[in-house]
Amino acid sequence: MPMFPTRYFSASTTSDQSWLQSLKGGLAKKAPSKKTLALPFVISKQLVAKRWGRAPPTVPEPVSPIVQDPPGMEAAMDLRRRALQAAISSGDLVLTKDGCGGAYLLSEDDTPVAIFKPRDEEFMAPNNPRGYVCHSAIVGETAHPTRKGFRVGNGAMREVAAFMLDAAYDGFSGVPATSFVTAPVADKWKEGSVQAFVPSDASAEDMGTLQFSVHDVHKIAILDLRLFNTDRHAGNILLQATHDKTTKYNMVPIDHGLTLPAYQYLDGATFDWLHWPQAKFPLSAAAIAHVERLDIAADAQVLRTVGLPEDCVITMQIATTLLKKAVAAGYSLYDIGVLVQREGLGDTPSQLEDVVEQARAMLPTGYDPRVAGPMLLGLVDKALTSLLLDYPKSKVRSISNL
C-alpha cells in the first residue's frame, strides 16, 4: 500500500513549540534543525521582498527556504497526539454505528476525542468492515469502482485537505480539526485520517430546514462549492443547539472523503442545501468578503502538499474560479449550485461540465495536466466569464424569517 510521507504520520514531535517566529503576515525567519515539519509552505526571500513592497534584485541571490506552518497545523498536530494516545490506551476499538466505511471512536477517560478512519477500510477498500468491499483494490492506486474520479483509500487525503483549506481562512466553514495518523486497530497499525469528535444534538436530516440559519447554510455551501463535494447530504451536517433565540443550531460539516474528484469527472456534485430556502438568500458582507479572499494559487499548493493529484487540484481551481466570479457578479449560492449540480435524475451534463469539456477539446492530444493545466484553466476562465454575462439570477428571497 503506498505510504504517505513519513512526516505526516510521525507520532513524536519536539517539545519546543516556539520554533516558528512569525514576521508580518505569519512568515518565519528560521526553523530549528530538530523539527518534523508537516505540510510546509516554502517561500523564497524574493517573494517575501515582493510582498513587503521591496523590488527583488535582478539576479536572485541564493537563499535558504523560509518555512511557514500552515494555519490550523497546531490544532491538527495536537489532535494527532491525543488521538494516538487514546487509540493505544483504548485497546480494542469499537466500530461506530453509522457510515459506509470503517470509523472508530477514540476516547480519553471515557471522553470522546476523535473519529479514526483507516484508509484500507474506506468505502470499497479491501478491508471495509461493513461489506462495501473490493477485495482486489490496491489502496491509493485502484480507480474507485463506484465513484468516478476517485481512487480507493484516498478519502483520508481529502478529509485533511478540507480542514486545511478551511483553516487557511480562519475556519470560516467550521470543518473540525483533521489530521493524518497511524493507529492500531485489532493489533494492526493502520494509516488513515482522524477528525476531532464533535458533540451534537442531531444532524440536519433530523430537522426541518427552517431551523437553520442563513449564515450556517451559506458557510457550508461555499465550502462544498470550493471542494466540488459529491456527497453533501443532510446526514453529514451535525447540529449543535445554541440556546439562542436568533440562531437555533450551529451547523458543523463533516465527511469530506468524497470531495475533489478528478476534473474529467464533474458529473457527481451533490448539494442537499441546493433546495433549501436559504440557498437563494443574498450573501452577507462577511460571506462575500470570504469568497473574495480565497487565494486559488495558495489553495492549490496546499492540495499538492497533502498529496492530491493534479487532476483533483484542477477541480478545486475550476470550482473556486466559478464561485469567485459568480459571487462578484451578485449571484446566489443557489444560482451557482445549479451550474454545478446536474438536474433531476442526472442524465444531462451541468453547464459547468459543458464548459470544461469544451475547454478540454481545445487542448493538445495526450496532454499532461501538470503542463496543460494552466491552459485549460485559462480557457475555462474565459468561458465562465461569458456564461455569467447572460445567466439569469434567481429571485432574491427575504431573510426576515430566518
pLDDT tens figures, 32-57: 333 333 333 332 323 333 333 333 33
Both 228 and 170 in one domain: the answer is no
- How far is residue 136's CA from residue 42's CA, in Å, rounded to a whole number? 38
Asked whether the beta carbons of 31 and 52 are under 8 A apart, the reply is no
Both 97 and 78 in one domain: the answer is yes
Q: Give the containing element (helix H, strand E) for 192.
A: strand 188-196
* pLDDT at position 306 over 80: yes
* pLDDT at position 218 over 90: yes
Both 235 and 309 in one domain: the answer is yes
* pLDDT at position 12 over 60: no
Q: Hunting for cell 441546493 — which residue is that?
A: 274
Both 154 and 223 in one domain: the answer is no
For residues 73 and 162, the model is more confident at: 162
- 108-155 pLDDT, tens digit per residue, is 988 999 999 999 999 999 999 999 999 999 999 999 999 999 999 999
- Please enumerate in sequence order all residues whose Cβ is within 8 A of that of 217, keeping only pairs 6 or more positions apart, or say none: 251, 273, 276, 278, 279
* pLDDT at position 21 over 80: no
C-alpha cell recorded at residue 38: 508537516
> Is 399 among the domain residues?
no
Strand 202-203, strand 237-241: pairing = antiparallel
What pLDDT was estimated at residue 50? 33
Question: Which of 23-32, 54-63, 177-186, 254-263 bottoms out in mean pLDDT, i.e. has the lowest?
Answer: 23-32
Both 231 and 359 in one domain: the answer is yes
**Torsion angle of C-alpha atoms 280, 353, 380, 327, degrees rounded to 10:** 10
Both 153 and 269 in one domain: the answer is no
- How far is it between the farthest Cα atoms of the chain? 62
Q: How many domains does the chain fold into?
A: 2
- Residue finishing a domain among 168, 196, 224: 196
The candidate with the shortest Cα–Cα distance to 42, out of 74, 66, 7, 8, is 66
- How far is residue 206's CA from residue 189's CA, in Å, rounded to a whole number? 36
- How far is residue 10's CA from residue 28's CA, in Å, rounded to a whole number? 22
Residues paired with residue 189 on neighbouring β-strands, in sequence order: 184
Both 156 and 224 in one domain: the answer is no
Mean pLDDT over residues 288-302, rounded?
98
What pLDDT was estimated at residue 69? 65
> Is 397 among the domain residues?
no
Question: Which of 13-22, 138-147, 202-211, 373-382 bottoms out in mean pLDDT, i.e. has the lowest?
Answer: 13-22
Question: Which of 19-33, 53-67, 96-110 bottoms out in mean pLDDT, i.e. has the lowest?
Answer: 19-33
Question: Which of 38-52, 87-101, 354-368 bottoms out in mean pLDDT, i.e. has the lowest?
Answer: 38-52
Both 379 and 293 in one domain: the answer is yes
What pLDDT was estimated at residue 72? 84
The half-sphere exposure of 307 on its side-chain side, counting CA atoms within 13 A, is 20
- Residue finishing a domain among 164, 196, 228: 196
What pLDDT was estimated at residue 332? 98
> Is 47 among the domain residues?
no
* pLDDT at position 273 over 50: yes
For residues 314 and 401, the model is more confident at: 314
Both 112 and 239 in one domain: the answer is no
What pLDDT was estimated at residue 67? 42
Helix, strand, or coil here: 73? helix
Q: Give the containing element (helix H, strand E) for 165.
A: helix 155-167
> Is 213 among the domain residues?
yes
What pLDDT was estimated at residue 22? 26
Question: Which of 33-42, 63-72, 250-259, 322-331 bottoms out in mean pLDDT, i.e. has the lowest?
Answer: 33-42
Both 229 and 333 in one domain: the answer is yes
What pLDDT was estimated at residue 397? 66
- The per-residue pLDDT of the chain, averaged, comes to 84
Both 133 and 246 in one domain: the answer is no
Q: Strand (E) positions, 94-177?
A: 104-108, 111-118
> Is 401 among the domain residues?
no
Mean pLDDT over residues 287-314, rounded?
97
Task: Kindly tell me the sign of the dihedral angle through the C-alpha atoms of 375, 377, 381, 384.
Answer: positive
* Residue 190 structural domain: 73-196
What pLDDT was estimated at residue 365? 84
> Is 36 among the domain residues?
no
* pLDDT at position 400 over 70: no
Q: What is the DSSP string of 325-374?
A: HHHHTT--HHHHHHHHSPPTTS-S--HHHHHHHHHHHTSPTT--HHHHHH
- 237-265 pLDDT, tens digit per residue, is 999 998 776 668 999 999 999 999 999 99
What pLDDT was estimated at residue 370? 79
Mean pLDDT over residues 175-182, rounded?
97
Both 314 and 165 in one domain: the answer is no
- Residue finishing a domain among 174, 196, 218: 196
Q: What percent of the chain has pLDDT above 90?
A: 71
> Is 172 among the domain residues?
yes
* pLDDT at position 97 over 50: yes
For residues 58 and 317, the model is more confident at: 317
Tell me if the pTM is above 0.95.
no
For residues 3 and 333, the model is more confident at: 333
> Is 264 among the domain residues?
yes
The candidate with the shortest Cα–Cα distance to 263, out of 212, 314, 339, 216, is 314
